[in-house]
Amino acid sequence: MTCTATINDQSVTFDLTTPFDLSIPVTVHNPVHAFFLPHATFEPFRAGDFVGSVEEGGPVRCDVVTLAPHGNGTHTECVGHVAGRGYSLLASLSQQLVTGRLVTVPISEAGCIELADLQQTWTMWGEQALILRTQPNSISKRSAMWSGSHPPYVHPAAMHLIVERGVEHLLIDLPSVDPEEDAGALTAHRIFWNYPDAPRERATITELIYVPDHVLDGQYLVDLNAAAFDGDAAPSRPTIYPCRKS
């Protein structure tokens, strides 16, 4: 099964039989978290004699789930993250299936994605989405406790390049495109969404993905697959499909 899209006036075919799941799931067993947000909880609903737990003798499992999308796993966010309740992901993400390019970029000695490194590794563009896999790329990213560790981020100059090249959807394997502590500036977020000057309402950022080393850099079809949450962010399960070579 295949899908064909047009990128830079060229027809590109994607193989839908070989998906790669980039998500880190929200579970009670996964220790990944960021920004000191609480871990997700899944608690049985209780009302009178009813308990939503088969293990406790109830007829069904019925959990009350508490989560903080920005810190509990892979999530997709919209400009409402910096602009407030006037924007929601439910309204902003009108197209979940987009074309994308996976690029592997190193983290500099300064602890960020630098403009020069991104220019060197990102030599072809034109897709709607950019997927950034940072190096080093340990599988420990799938269970990292990022809080208080000053994770890498995207340098503002590099973010300007991302916007200038027309990227509408950015996916990255870090907890945020901005430093963990920046006094609330969120400079890279604001650059990406062009906020507050002329907000890019349909643009999204997906954080805390993981791209295994065996997935090759190149063109992909991207299914952002975000949950239908009426908030600034929602858990998501981005899946990519490789370009089929002719």
Q: What is the pLDDT of residue 126?
A: 95
* pTM for the whole structure: 0.95
Which residues partner with 130 through β-bridges?
101, 170
What pLDDT shows up at residue 35? 94
Domain span at residue 74?
Answer: 2-242
**Rounded Cα–Cα distance for residues 154 and 2 (Å):** 34
What whole-number distance in Å separates Cα of residue 158 and Cα of residue 198? 20
For residue 63, CA distances in Å to 39, 47, 116, 154 come to: 15, 12, 48, 37
According to the model, what pLDDT value does residue 246 have?
Answer: 57
Q: What is the identity of the amino acid at 23?
A: S
Report pLDDT for 64. Answer: 97
What tokens were used for 182? 């920046």
Encode pLDDT of 6-27 as tens digits.
Answer: 777 788 888 889 999 999 999 8
Q: What is the pLDDT at residue 5?
A: 76
- Quote the pLDDT of residue 28: 84
The sheet carrying 233-235 orders its strands as 20-21, 239-242, 218-223, 97-106, 129-135, 169-172, 204-207, 75-77, 233-235
pLDDT score of 149:
92
CATH code of residue 19: 3.50.30.50
Mention every residue, 6+ apart, whose C-beta is less than 8 A from residue 57: 51
Residue 10 is predicted with a pLDDT of 81
Residues of the chain with pLDDT under 50: none
- C-alpha–C-alpha distance, residues 189 and 177, integer Å: 7
Task: Work out how many domains the chain is built from and give that number.
Answer: 1
